Amino acid sequence: AGKSTLAAAFSARGYRLLSDDLCAVTVTEPQGVLVYPAFPRVKLWKDTASQLQIPTDGLERSRMELEKVHLPIPAPLFQTAPLPPAQIVLLRTELSPDQQETRVLRGLAALRRFDIIHRWRLGLAMGQQALILQGLARLVERAPVAEVARSDNFADLPELVDRVRALAEMPRG
């Protein structure tokens, strides 16, 4: 919850967007793990866009029954080449501001977060347990995993961007 809002906030600060919420990841040798760009857009709820002072007039709707729009990302702010993962951030909503902490997940704690992989249950049902676990293990060994708490209303969005950005500056290991 909040991936698109956080992506839009980073983009507003001049950071390049690789993907809004889903992206393809390859695990091969000799390249290792690469994350591929998706589409140069962010899907935002209209009320969230309003809170971020982003006009939505004329923007394409994500789905007609939803008050969600596609916010195009200008070419200079879109990352077109694949990149190795630097950090995996899992967002968690907390109602209480004093519980908005960041937890670094290591080892088994990171491996237990199958939700890093989209539709992992479908993969398990198709008998791909070994492939999923192997890919997840390679991914979390190359990119630190952190669970970051956020408020339920994004009043703290600037501070949330700063906390996520600080993860990239943390020492590895």
pTM for the model stands at: 0.85
Report how far residue 153's alpha carbon sits from residue 50's, in angstroms, rounded to the nearest whole number.
Answer: 13
CB 29 within 8 A of CB 22: no
pLDDT value at residue 1: 76
- Convert the pLDDT of each residue in 73-89 to its tens digit: 999 999 999 999 989 99
Q: For the chain, what percentages of helix, strand and coil (3-state, to nearest 5) are there? A: 35, 20, 45
- Of 69, 73, 65, the C-alpha closest to 13 is 73
Report how far residue 164's alpha carbon sits from residue 173's, in angstroms, rounded to the nearest whole number.
Answer: 18
Answer yes or no: is pLDDT of 173 > 70: no
